[in-house]
Amino acid sequence: MEKISVSLELIIKEFNLEEIYLPCDAKDIKVVRSAVNRPGLQITGYFDHFEEERVQIIGHVEHDYLGQMSSEDRAYRLNEFFSHKPVAVVVSTDLEIFPELMEAAKTYEVPLLRTSTTTTTFLAALIAYLDVALAPRITRHGVLVEVYGEGILILGDSGIGKSECAIELVKRGHRLIADDAVEIKRVSAKTLVGSAPEIIRHYVELRGIGIVDVRRIFGMGAVKMTEKIDLVIKFEHWDQNKMYDRFGLDNETTDILGIKIPTITIPVRPGRNLAVILEIAAMNNRQKKMGYNTAEEFNKRLMGIYEGKGEDR
């Protein structure tokens, strides 16, 4: 599988970095790790477990340490550091670029950049950006909508009515994120975020009508670029011989990129208002996250009545 990467050019544009030295076009330099490093130990000569794929950030501590050295010692330490070919080095807080720093970067052809942002702020922002840009991802056939603040991924066979349901939800004031293909990224140990491929973003395919531009027809408030996935709804054709969960006590989940997402299977047949059902599902899921489970409370009430009758006997 091809390794996910982000070009240094995009990072430079995102953070408005000053290009001190680039050995080649920034778009050809790829960053593949979301973790970054402050090379204090490496400047002292310790390189065990050093990962050159990480972006290196030189802040006040590293800069002051280098500044206390003689020119010869500084050149030696920096040449030793740059000889390990880190993917890029960023100097924070508009700190001075030592001549030895520039010389080492050129000698070993390592990109050297600078930012006016403080070290801690830049480090946190860069990690957050790379976590999303380099997140593990897959594409699933389905529809992603936001309903009452809940991101709902609708899955089901082609032609079962996913897009029609999405349009009805948009008409009712909710928002479309993606139709047909949903790009899903795992941005943390607990969070999945979905979006649409750029070429089909804000479009919906309705059989018999064709392609519909949701943003132009319903306005900017009807669409959204990305949304976390809180709930999976699976549409399937109604099977009268199948027993469906009628109380909501079943805790079905769908594993996506190693994260288990609460899942509800909705049988589809003529006459069912799927948009209303999804609205209720969204509100019920939100209620569960706030600590109240209607199905469990109802079951407790039934058990209480049953036990009470048993005592009367």
Per-position DSSP letters for 167-187, written without gaps between them = HHHHHTT-EEEEEEEEEEEE-
Type of residue numbered 76: Y
Residue 1 has what pLDDT? 45
DSSP code at position 16: T
Residues 191, 116 within the same domain: no
Residues 173, 204 within the same domain: yes
Number of domains in the chain: 2
What does pTM read for this prediction? 0.74
Over the chain (313 residues), what is each successive 10-residue block's mean pLDDT?
83 95 94 93 92 94 94 94 95 94 95 95 94 90 94 91 91 93 91 92 88 91 93 87 66 90 88 87 86 69 66 53
User: Of 133, 168, 192, which one is at a domain's C-terminal end?
Assistant: 133
User: Of 98, 114, 133, which one is at a domain's C-terminal end?
Assistant: 133
User: Of 93, 118, 133, which one is at a domain's C-terminal end?
Assistant: 133
Residues 147, 288 within the same domain: yes
Position 303 in a domain:
no
Per-position DSSP letters for 87-111, written without gaps between them = S-EEE-TT----HHHHHHHHHHT--
Position 312 in a domain:
no
DSSP code at position 212: E
Phi and psi torsions of 100, nearest 5°: -65, -30
Residues 111, 34 within the same domain: yes
Per-position DSSP letters for 227-261, written without gaps between them = EE--EEEEEEE--TTSPPPSSS----EEEETTEEE
Dist. CA 187–CA 268, nearest whole Å: 32
Residue 32 has what pLDDT? 93
Residues 26, 109 within the same domain: yes
Residues 120, 141 within the same domain: no
Residue ranges making up the domain that contains 10: 6-133
Catalytic residue numbers, as ranges? 141, 162, 180, 246
Position 309 in a domain:
no
